[in-house]
């Protein structure tokens, strides 16, 4: 009798959970963030789950801080970009420095892996602004989704309007003047990478889509902006040169192109990008042993290996939206899996990368990749590999609340 009673309770709880998931799934439709993971997180937080409280409390604390901030815009820089149009995004290559042998410092010279602090100047660069746009809008969107408090949605809508929609402050849908190298050019193909940071903002727009803070017309206009940016991505000289890159730049190009195609509801283009990815990226960038020669050749080989692998997992996740298996789940020699296995020993901060490298690499960058891999490759307990990482850092990671996310 007692056993039957327990079974009835379990069935009732399962029925409640399924209805809860179905109800919440009808509320929003995300692209990058896993909606089932989000729904489960919301359910657990409502039940005061102790494991999620650290990451959740940090999210809410960050959201409260963002409420105090003003929206950012490309028009806030005081110096015009090379085009003369204040609505054009502009940034400067971080690894390029003045030539000490030239009185003018021009043309700049490259120090790979060493950031020139002047490249981040708010006076003429939008690089910090676009990063703030993505992180802050994502933060507010998640806070709204998990709490239902309109104040977060209202503020997120302000960030979205200011950057994408308002005539006085909107960004033109291109990054023609990204990562300028003084004395060389007025923008580079490498600058296309900056555009990835807008993905967090657009995910934020989806998270607040059932709020009145952002009108249906505004949501439609965001899709039109994304479509215009996708058109630029797939036709401009800079963007097409970036697409041909053989390293993380090419991978993140695909992340962007796939995301903006999906956001603007261009499923045909998204399918084509996903279908080409395995041959064009995985098999050309990852060797059979899992190493990535292009990333290993850099001055920060571990950092860039993790960085590129994260991008590949993002594409694999997005590709599921168009039923393309980039994970190669049924293949023992999956290149994506080989890339992760190659990096597993270096999750342990005590294991040094065998080559010389500039600075230390934050091993926590592997945390989200293990989280993404664990439910996909179920024959290996990838989440167990995170035990070597700091528990105090692990418990506050936003990816505990939802993954994937982009950084």
The list of the chain residues with pLDDT below 50 reads 1-26
pLDDT at 17: 47
State how far the Cα of 302 lies from the Cα of 355, in Å rounded to an integer.
Answer: 9
Domains of the chain: 250-261+268-407 (1.50.10.100)
pLDDT at 15: 45
Total Cβ atoms within 10 A of residue 287: 15
State how far the Cα of 44 lies from the Cα of 64, in Å rounded to an integer.
Answer: 21
State how far the Cα of 130 lies from the Cα of 149, in Å rounded to an integer.
Answer: 25
Total Cβ atoms within 10 A of residue 197: 19
Phi, psi of 13, deg, nearest 5: -65, -40
Angle separating helix axes 248-263 and 267-277, nearest 10 degrees: 160
Angle separating helix axes 127-147 and 53-66, nearest 10 degrees: 120
> How is residue 356 written in tokens?
């010389």
Nearest to 58 by CA among 395, 316, 310, 292: 395
pTM over 0.85, yes/no: yes
pLDDT at 166: 98
pLDDT digits 0-9 by tens, 139-151: 999 999 999 999 9
pLDDT at 222: 98
């Amino acid at each position: 009798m007692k056993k039957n009673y327990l079974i009835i309770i379990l069935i009732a709880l399962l029925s409640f959970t399924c209805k809860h998931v179905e109800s919440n799934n009808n509320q929003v439709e995300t692209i990058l963030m896993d909606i089932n993971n989000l729904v489960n997180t919301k359910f657990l937080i409502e039940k005061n789950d102790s494991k999620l409280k650290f990451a959740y409390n940090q999210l809410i604390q960050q959201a409260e801080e963002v409420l105090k901030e003003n929206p950012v815009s490309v028009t806030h820089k005081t110096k015009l970009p090379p085009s003369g149009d204040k609505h054009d995004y502009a940034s400067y290559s971080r690894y390029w420095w003045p030539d000490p042998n030239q009185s003018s410092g021009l043309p700049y010279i490259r120090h790979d892996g060493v950031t020139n602090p002047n490249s981040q100047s708010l006076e003429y660069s939008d690089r910090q602004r676009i990063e703030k746009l993505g992180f802050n809008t994502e933060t507010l969107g998640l806070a709204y989704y998990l709490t239902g408090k309109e104040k977060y949605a209202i503020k997120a809508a302000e960030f979205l309007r200011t950057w994408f929609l308002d005539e006085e402050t909107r960004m033109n849908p291109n990054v023609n003047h990204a990562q300028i190298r003084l004395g060389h050019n007025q923008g580079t193909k490498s600058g296309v990478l900056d555009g990835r940071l807008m993905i967090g903002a657009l995910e934020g727009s989806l998270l607040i889509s059932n709020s009145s803070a952002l009108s249906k017309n505004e949501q439609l206009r965001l899709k039109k902006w994304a479509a215009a940016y996708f058109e630029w991505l797939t036709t401009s000289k800079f963007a097409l040169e970036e697409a041909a890159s053989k390293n993380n730049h090419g991978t993140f190009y695909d992340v962007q192109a796939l995301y903006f195609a999906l956001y603007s509801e261009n499923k045909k283009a998204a399918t084509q990008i996903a279908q080409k990815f395995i041959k064009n990226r995985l098999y050309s960038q990852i060797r059979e042993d899992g190493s990535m020669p292009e990333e290993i050749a850099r001055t920060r080989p571990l950092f860039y290996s993790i960085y590129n692998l994260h991008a590949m997992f993002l594409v694999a996740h997005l590709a599921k939206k168009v039923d393309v298996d980039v994970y190669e789940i049924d293949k023992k020699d999956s290149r994506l899996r080989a890339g992760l296995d190659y990096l597993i020993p270096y999750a342990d901060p005590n294991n040094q990368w065998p080559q010389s490298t500039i600075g230390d690499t934050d091993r926590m960058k592997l945390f989200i990749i293990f989280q993404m891999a664990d439910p996909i490759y179920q024959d290996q307990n990838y989440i167990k590999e995170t035990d070597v990482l700091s528990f105090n850092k692990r418990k506050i990671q936003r990816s505990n609340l939802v993954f994937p996310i982009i950084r």
